[in-house]
């Protein structure tokens, strides 16, 4: 018999953490860094609203659903910063999300980074999108061979890397830097990028900066957040804070010094990151969804992820689904530039709400 329990993270039974990790080991398709127990534990150091629903079968915990509570709404841990949503559970186990949310006192949960392999949520999906990734399972050299066969982007990027070294000094790559200056530069460069591109300035929220520092300073056996850095001579030119499970690396916060933009240091840094990741057992690098050119040029393939909502009020769920389809139609319309303006005007406010 399936039953559901809910715990604020401070009351979560200690022995359940190991069971959570075991489920991920048994089902590698779930083993993204965002679903690791360590990720939830670290988020809880920066936020006081983290809770965990437990899916129990005959007295044995068989699944976990971490979330942040906002009144009667569930958000995936760190909300819009999380790029993999869902439950940690054997896909063969049948359970009911609505019943779980009733037990938790939760009315709704919106997801937009849900792996389609989580079929329990299929009925709640509004639509799907692609999330590019790099396949390193055969090693970095094989990846290079495959990329060269696709086109000239890799060759051009490697030429720029050599030019950077020739003109600015010997390149040096660090897999993980413990220098506080490196993380501070990442925050400064990323913040400036958000201003340039009219993206919500998330670093104005101190808890986000604190969270990144917590991740960068933490290391576990099956989870870490490598803060990699690339130098040309003595100059720091690119930084990246990623999330790593035993075999997966998720690109999270890449940034570079705009003074070196002509060399494409961000791309060069990623290539160094892929190569170093292979040496550490990484077989896959996830970019997260997005149509940015570098993702499309560097990817090996795409994973399919879903967006939708679980809501105990079916009418609300259906109406939100219709609005989703309407927005999708607007974006695909020949008049999208004009029709999307009202949505763009509220975008910053909606993003701000997500980071309160």
pLDDT digits (tens, 9 = 90+) for 89-135: 999 999 999 999 999 999 999 999 999 999 999 999 999 999 999 99
pTM: 0.90
Q: Confirm whether 2-130+303-354 and 137-282 share one CATH topology.
A: yes
Q: What is the mean pLDDT of the chain?
A: 91
- CATH architecture of the domain covering 2-130+303-354: 3-Layer(aba) Sandwich (3.40)
pLDDT of residue 342: 58
178 C-beta neighbours (distance < 10 Å), count = 10
* CATH number, domain 137-282, options 3.40.630, 3.30.70, 3.40.50, 2.60.40: 3.40.630
Q: What pLDDT sits at residue 332?
A: 65
Residue-range domain boundaries for the chain? 2-130+303-354, 137-282
Work out the pLDDT band at 340, boundaries 50, 70, 90. Answer: low
Q: Among 232, 238, 231, 230, which Cα is nearest to 185's?
A: 238
Nearest to 350 by CA among 83, 128, 79, 76: 79
Q: What is the pLDDT of residues 122-131, one digit of tens each?
A: 999 999 999 9
Long-range pairs for 266-269 at CB < 8 Å and ≥24 separation?
266/238, 266/294, 267/157, 267/160, 267/294, 267/298, 268/157, 268/160, 268/161, 268/164, 268/171, 268/230, 268/238, 269/173, 269/228, 269/230, 269/237, 269/238, 269/239, 269/240
Instruction: Give the pLDDT score at 54.
Output: 98
- Give the model confidence (pLDDT) of 270-318 as tens digits: 999 999 999 999 999 999 999 899 999 999 999 999 999 999 987 766 7
pLDDT confidence band for 58 (50 / 70 / 90): very high
């Amino acid at each position: 018999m399936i039953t559901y329990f809910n715990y604020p993270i401070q009351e979560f039974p200690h022995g359940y953490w190991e069971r959570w990790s075991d489920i991920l080991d048994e089902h590698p398709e779930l083993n993204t860094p965002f679903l690791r127990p360590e990720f939830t534990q670290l988020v809880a150091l920066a936020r006081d609203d983290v809770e965990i629903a437990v899916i129990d079968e005959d007295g044995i915990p068989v699944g976990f659903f971490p979330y942040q509570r906002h009144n009667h709404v569930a958000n995936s841990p760190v909300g819009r910063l999380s790029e993999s949503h869902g439950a940690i559970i054997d896909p063969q186990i049948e359970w009911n999300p609505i019943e779980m949310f009733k037990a938790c006192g939760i009315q709704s949960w919106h997801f937009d980074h849900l792996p389609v392999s989580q079929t329990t949520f299929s009925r709640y999906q509004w639509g799907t999108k692609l999330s590019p990734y790099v396949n390193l399972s055969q090693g970095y050299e094989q990846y290079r061979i495959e990329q060269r066969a696709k086109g000239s982007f890799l060759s051009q990027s490697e030429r720029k890397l050599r030019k950077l070294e020739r003109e600015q000094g010997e390149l040096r790559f660090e897999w993980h830097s413990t220098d506080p200056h490196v993380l501070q530069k990442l925050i400064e460069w990323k913040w400036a990028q958000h201003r340039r591109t009219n993206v919500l300035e998330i670093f104005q929220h101190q808890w986000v900066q604190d969270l990144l520092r917590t991740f960068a300073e933490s290391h576990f056996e099956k989870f870490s957040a490598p803060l990699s850095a690339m130098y040309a001579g003595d100059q720091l030119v690119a930084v990246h804070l990623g999330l790593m499970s035993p075999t997966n690396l998720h690109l999270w916060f890449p940034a570079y010094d705009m003074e070196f933009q002509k060399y494409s240091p961000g791309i060069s840094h990623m290539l160094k990151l892929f190569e170093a990741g292979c040496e550490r057992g990484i077989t896959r690098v996830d970019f997260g969804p997005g149509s940015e050119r570098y993702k499309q040029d560097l990817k090996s393939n795409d994973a399919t992820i879903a967006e939708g909502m679980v809501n105990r009020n079916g009418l609300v769920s259906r109406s939100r689904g219709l609005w989703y389809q309407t927005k999708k139609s607007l974006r695909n319309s020949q008049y999208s530039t004009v029709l999307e303006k009202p949505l763009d005007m509220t975008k910053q406010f909606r993003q701000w709400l997500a980071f309160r």
